[in-house]
Chains A and B, each alone.
Chain A
């Protein structure tokens, strides 16, 4: 069983941050803080110049990170240091061109060497999996699949090929906080459950502990990005404490679903 699967021993809280926002030193501190606050898995964004699946909050974070001189190589140097002390799994979230231009084989090899357990590429759907899947397999990195509210009859096909965990996109549109999530997640998880026991977590639009708990309760976990990244944007280098407080609240809410 992969380390990611093990992270779902109960309901999981998965925070997302963009590497290098506001700088890599802060990111490194943040990762430790997120683990301390009770995160079960951490999603690390490698910034991309043109993130077409992101809303304004994460777009700005990518811009800040790139302006600060963040590069794929420097991120690998950071994850290499972190992997020696962080026990929970780390997954990368980035865009196809970041991996492809680095050379997919070399990128996934570096992932494996520096303790990265999974890869999420929002611009690579099921039809284009073969571009990266062979390299993920070669180096034992889980290739995380996404399922959207528009997936309909595609859900079982995608779920059957899933590994690590399944990322359920809660809403139409891009990443970002929403006051309410309209999609009924339950019918989606029912289809997923009928074909696989790979755990699934809901992301996109989760802005507070209440929503995180509600989304985790109909799946196996909640992914929170923009609400955390907004705090990082607001506090800059001083963000680790406020982020810790917020993530602890999220993690406690999600974990309250599990028998203690």
Chain B
């Protein structure tokens, strides 16, 4: 089974309608060709460095480390990328690939809006049409990002079906792709969906761990003891883990959104609360009921509010290579406030899930080095965190 195409162990695959099969085969062939093309890679590196602001800094969080009194904590500053999150890495890669394939239109799903903004940005840069599907509930939670996408020239389609969140936006983007394939590339935002998306997105995000590795060796002379990242679909986490997977001494820790707790129905912690299934093109773990109906998940973070997890994470979990922990809304909000006051950095509420784990783990890890992937900036979350604390903001 492990030799099957696009599989991570038994996870992954291509569970999609026949109508899309030639589209994903064409994408796979194009990717296999361009991933080895020096000109393509030079163009992408140029976009990363000249447009997105790479390499992103690795910042030693001295005050935080001293305050916690244990491990030394380093923050990988993906929040400083253009558009404010790691999402731009994948989007520039896919947009360039789509352009090489002769596509003129990008469609995307978005949860928190970060991937939508990044896709709208790349579409503007490449002069492509752009349509972003976003759950209606999320368009309310992330109104500023909706405005940004429109400003960048994209159409934003609110998705009213189901729970009106990320999973419904993904479903609607797949439906749209089925209806219009020839000029359209579906710029999927995470390491999920049918093969080749989990591999393509991982490869474009792997620049994060490539840089962390070099930066840690330069700063500390050794590899980190642990790399911590938040996981929804899992693209920033796989990006931060990838180049450390062969280094068994480096602990890889993914932080899922527990919402109001993994023992409640209001959670999005797929590994903790889900079981194996087949959905959105892949075999992986999903939050679902006993008859396989996908669960209406919940998290304060629109970006982690997804009932599944990328197939490579499912495999890293099953093989024990990576650990997955669940972090509640309350813990994430506390970490959001903590980093703001302690280091003067307002993190995305998604990234705050990873920070919360680091804050808990660091005191017992004296003499060790932790890298937290600060996957995005938190401006977009101020309104919802204020609301969580009982304060209504208006401009």
Interface on A for B, CB 8 Å cutoff?
48-50, 52-53, 55-56, 59, 63, 66, 71-73, 95-102, 122-128, 131, 146-152, 154, 158, 169, 172-174
B179 touches A97 (CB 8 A): no
A120→B279 CA distance, assembly (Å): 16
Interface size class of B (residues with CB under 8 A): 35 or more
Given contacts A48-B293, A128-B13, A128-B14, contact A101 B277 (CB under 8 A): yes
A52 touches B280 (CB 8 A): yes
Q: CB < 8 Å: which of B17, B167, B175, B288 contacts A148?
A: B17
Mask of B107-129 contacts with A, CB within 8 angstroms, 1/0: 00000000000000000000000
B175 touches A52 (CB 8 A): yes
Q: CB < 8 Å: which of A59, A71, A146, A152 contacts B291?
A: A71
Question: Quick one: closest B residue to A147, CB to CB?
Answer: B18
Q: List 10 A-B contacts (CB under 8 A).
A: A50-B171, A52-B17, A73-B291, A102-B292, A122-B18, A123-B281, A125-B18, A147-B18, A148-B17, A151-B22
A101→B326 CA distance, assembly (Å): 24
A151→B161 CA distance, assembly (Å): 29
B22 touches A154 (CB 8 A): yes
A123 touches B17 (CB 8 A): yes
A30: min CB distance to chain B, Å = 22
Interface hits, B8-26 → A, CB 8 Å: 13-23
Other 18 A-B pairs with CB < 8 A, given A96-B278, A97-B292, A98-B292 = A48-B293, A50-B168, A53-B17, A55-B175, A63-B161, A97-B277, A100-B292, A122-B18, A131-B13, A146-B18, A148-B17, A148-B21, A154-B18, A172-B19, A172-B179, A173-B178, A173-B179, A174-B178
Q: Does B219 contact A (CB under 8 A)?
A: no
Q: CB < 8 Å: which of A50, A63, A147, A158 contacts B167?
A: A50
Q: Which secondary structure dominates where chain B touches chain A?
A: mixed
Q: Which residues of B contact A123 (CB under 8 A)?
A: 15-17, 278, 281
A119: min CB distance to chain B, Å = 14
Q: Which residues of B contact A53 (CB under 8 A)?
A: 17, 175, 178
A101 touches B292 (CB 8 A): yes
A122→B288 CA distance, assembly (Å): 20
Interface on B for A, CB 8 Å cutoff?
5, 13-23, 161-162, 167-168, 171, 174-175, 178-181, 275-281, 286, 288, 290-294
A56→B160 CA distance, assembly (Å): 11
Question: Quick one: closest A residue to B296, CB to CB?
Answer: A49
A74: min CB distance to chain B, Å = 10
Question: Quick one: closest B residue to A97, CB to CB?
Answer: B292
A125 touches B167 (CB 8 A): no
A72 touches B291 (CB 8 A): yes
